[in-house]
Amino acid sequence: MMIYRRVLRYLRPYWYKLAASMACSIMFSMFSGMSIYLTIPLLETLFFTPEAAATAAPAAASPAASIIPGWLTEMKDWVAHGFQQMVFRDTPAESLFNICIVVVVAFFFRNVFGYLQSNLMMAVEQGLIRDLRNDLYRHIHALPLAYFSNERTGNLISRIMNDVPVINTGISATFQTLIKEPMLIVVYLTITLVISWKLTLIAFIVFPLALAIIAGIGRRVHKESGLVQERIADLTSVLHETISGVKVVKAFGMEGFENRKFAAEGQGYLDTILRVTRIRNLASPSTEFLSAAAGAVIIWYGGMQVLQHEALKASEFLGFLFAIFQLMPPIKELSGVNNRIQEATAAGKRVFEILDIEPGITDPPVPAHLDGFTGAIEFKKVAFHYVEGDPVLTDISFTIRKGEVVAIVGPSGAGKSTIVDLVPRFYDPVAGAIEIDGIDLRQIQVSALREHIGIVTQETILFNDTVRNNIAYGLDDCPLERIIEAAKAANAHAFISQMPNGYDSRIGERGVKISGGERQRLALARAILKNPPILILDEATSALDTESEILVQEAIERLMSGRTSIVIAHRLSTVQHADRIIVVEGGRIVETGRHTELVKKKDGLYKKLFDMQFRI
């Protein structure tokens, strides 16, 4: 229940709506009871003598007196007398007219309060869903990159889109079903007790057995509900991966394979949901059958009271039946509450598993102020690993002064990308330190640090939006003139102008409507518009054809002008003019120097890589 209590904390901003909803539930229940209770004087008026109608009170007399408190009996008599004075007249026709008016009024207010209660509760439920999703979404953005390396995207999407609404069903069960239905039960039960406590007692003999069955079913539902959410996550993951990699699927002719995989996951979900549904649906028919059995006993016993013993009026017995059978729907609703709460708890567990993950990259309690970038970036004996015991970087030390262009080269897996990922604090070193202008990066607010850094990678990330919004990503109300200026500097203005809607053209998800070179130039335009003092280029031209590479390289040279740049490149031709080249192998720096110096080292790694590329 700790998980469920955590969910309930999200209701605090909506306490006033929740209170109003509960008040409407109480009024709804009162008018529901009134509408049923009016059947007694109505039956007296229609089917019995005028004398009986004139003297009838809308409550039974003595049968319940032995167990009903005196104050309740007095209140009942007072209400009955007032009702009699208001409704009953000299003739049955007049009394019938008055009763009909009261019935209409009762049903009108019953439905008004029912409408208000539903709308208020919906506002609470949907507000909770929004707040929980927002918290989950914000927390996901706060998690380090390492988390996403080990987590399936489809699973995260499933927890946000599927698990959160399941939690909402538990809130609905708690604050709608568990308030409105018990209130209805109390009202109808009061009516039945006032009429005949013996009949009421017989009616509720079946309850302990029903509750035992419901509790057992609830435990099974809680166990199986977690499996349902996992199956949904598996299904979502397959769907996401297949759509994201649709080009590879088609290229390898794997449509049939993917169809079978998706069908297998779908069948697994179907089997699980059917199993849970079978368990959950046992509660309702079990409760209904037991209630029907009790009803048959009640009808027999009550009928005997009317026919033989004359301990109960026929109109009272019929009113009792109306009330007791009105008890069945709320009892039936309550029978599923435990199941819904168990399902919500299982979903909440999956959601809070993410919310409970502590972000690995956090802001310091008192962050240091970074006033621009004026000095240098310095690596001091930096070590790093993704998995403990498997070092990726060891004893990395070097300095990048303001305005320098430093290239990092080496074979695949040497640790080049890891080095540059440490600069914007995508990860923190496990040993040593990285300083900017003499300040340890861990002492700087993350957002403030990243404001000073622009990143262009081989894998260009664009959004299903307009060209304009992709270039001005994160900049509100950026003038079009500045966007065009950045596009021109990135050699992108020409192809943008030829698009159907120019800068307002949509480029599709991940920029699928434009070529690789065009996507890269848009990414460069985005970095140019941000105008960062520090620039990181990670294999920015490695996946481009010759023509695109020339255009992108020209844009990169403009972008690097006057900036401190860290460049990773497999194509050594793109880094020959760097101020310094750092050669990395096995997570260690093995060489440092300019291109002209490094190619002269006959046994050097850089010379070996250079010769392999240019076949010298």
Q: Which of 69-83, 362-376, 530-544, 602-616 has the lowest mean pLDDT?
A: 69-83
Classify residue 363: in a domain, yes or no. no
pLDDT for residue 504 is more than 50? yes
How far is the C-alpha of 387 from the C-alpha of 146, rounded, in Å?
10
pLDDT at 56 over 70: no
pLDDT above 70 for 44: no
Has residue 582 got a pLDDT over 90?
yes
Q: State how far the Cα of 528 lies from the Cα of 27, in Å rounded to an integer.
A: 63
Q: By the 8 A CB rule, do 492 and 519 touch?
A: no
Which tokens belong to 195?
Answer: 């009429």
pLDDT of residue 590: 93
| Average of per-residue pLDDT across 435-443 | 92
pLDDT at 396: 92
Nearest to 530 by CA among 460, 444, 453: 453
Exposed, middle or buried: residue 416 (CB in 10 Å: 0-12, 13-18, 19+)?
buried
Closest C-alpha among 482, 462, 489, 481 to residue 473: 462
What's the pLDDT at 54? 45
Is residue 67 predicted with pLDDT exceeding 80?
no
pLDDT at position 153 is 77
Within-domain flag for 204: yes
Final residue belonging to a domain, choices 306, 321, 355: 355
Rg (CA), the chain: 37
pLDDT bin (cut points 50, 70, 90) of residue 71 is low
* Residue 90 placed within a domain: yes
What's the average model confidence in pLDDT over 577-591?
Answer: 91
Structure tokens at 576: 């020959």
Of 188, 221, 168, nearest to 180 (Cα)?
A: 188
User: Are the CB atoms for 177 and 334 separated by under 8 Å?
Assistant: yes
Q: Which among 144-158, 257-271, 503-517, 577-591 has the top mean pLDDT?
A: 577-591
Give the C-alpha separation, 34 to 21, whole Å.
Answer: 20
Are 311 and 434 members of one domain? no
Mean pLDDT of 434-446: 91
> Cα 305 from chain centroid?
57
What's the mean pLDDT in 502-511? 84
CB atoms within 10 A of CB 63: 20
Q: What is the pLDDT of residue 59?
A: 42
- pLDDT-wise least confident of 15-29, 329-343, 351-365, 553-567: 329-343
How many structural domains comprise the chain? 2
Q: Measured between alpha carbons, how far is 468 from 491 in angstroms, rounded to an integer? A: 15
Do residues 400 and 283 both lie within one domain? no
400 and 442 fall within a common domain: yes
Model confidence at 418: pLDDT above 70 = yes
pLDDT for position 572: 75
Give how far the C-alpha of residue 509 lies from the chain's centroid of Cα atoms, to the nearest Å: 22
Q: What is the mean pLDDT of residues 438-462?
A: 86
CATH assignment of the domain containing 573: 3.40.50.300
Q: What is the pLDDT of residue 64?
A: 42
Do 29 and 122 fall into the same domain? yes
259 plus 298 within the same structural domain: yes
Q: How confident is the model at residue 232 (pLDDT cuts 50, 70, 90)?
A: confident
Which residues, other chains included, contact 353 with Cβ-Cβ below 8 Å and sequence gap of 6+? none
Residue 53: pLDDT band (50, 70, 90) is very low
Query: Is 315 in the same domain as 428?
Result: no
In the chain, the amino acid numbered 379 is: F
> Are 421 and 519 contained in the same domain?
yes
The token duo for 152 is 């399936």
588 pLDDT tier (thresholds 50, 70, 90) = very high
With pLDDT > 70 as the criterion, what percentage of the chain qualifies?
A: 79
Q: Cα 605–609–612 angle (5° rounding)?
A: 140
pLDDT at 210: 58
Q: What is the pLDDT of residue 433?
A: 93
Average pLDDT over residues 102-125: 86
201 — pLDDT class (breaks 50, 70, 90): confident
The predicted structure's pLDDT at residue 52: 45
In terms of domains, do 343 and 438 share one? no
Q: Are residues 384 and 348 in the same domain?
A: no
Q: What pLDDT band is residue 83 in, cutting at 50, 70 and 90?
A: low
Q: Which of 324, 355, 386 is the last residue of a domain?
A: 355
* Domain final residue, candidates 325, 355, 385: 355
Average pLDDT of the chain to the nearest whole number: 78
Residue 612: predicted pLDDT: 82
- When pLDDT is averaged across residues 86-107 and rounded to a whole number, the result is 72
24 vs 237, higher pLDDT: 24
- What is residue 191's predicted lDDT score, i.e. its pLDDT? 77
**Lowest-pLDDT range of 266-280, 347-361, 543-557, 566-580:** 543-557
390 in a domain, yes or no? yes
| Domain of residue 486, residue span | 376-614
CA atoms within 13 A on the CB side of 574: 27
Do residues 485 and 351 share a domain?
Answer: no
Does 176 map to a domain? yes
Q: Is the pLDDT of residue 57 over 70?
A: no
pLDDT at 379 > cutoff 80 = yes
How much is the pLDDT for 399?
93
Confidence (pLDDT) at 584: 93
Asked if 110 and 183 count as a contact pair (C-beta separation under 8 A), the reply is no
Query: What is the CATH number for 76?
Result: 1.20.1560.10
**Residue found under tokens 């008016």:** 101
Domain presence at residue 424:
yes
- Residues 418 and 346 grouped into a single domain: no
Q: Quick one: 147 and 201 in the same domain?
A: yes
Helical residues (DSSP H) of 336-473, grouped into ranges: 337-355, 416-422, 446-451, 467-471
Report yes or no: 178 and 330 within 8 Å, Cβ to Cβ. no
Q: How far apart are CA 3 and CA 346, in angstroms?
A: 9
What pLDDT is stored for residue 116 in this prediction? 92
* 403-417: average pLDDT: 88
> Which of the pair, 340 or 335, is modelled with greater confidence?
340
Asked if the structure places residue 366 within a domain, the reply is no
Pick 104 or 555 by higher pLDDT. 104
Residue 554: inside a domain, yes or no? yes
Q: Residue 513: what pLDDT?
A: 83
Rounded to the nearest 5°, which phi and psi values hold at 382?
-80, 135
> Over 50: is that where the pLDDT of 63 sits?
no
Please report the pLDDT score of residue 583 as a whole number: 92
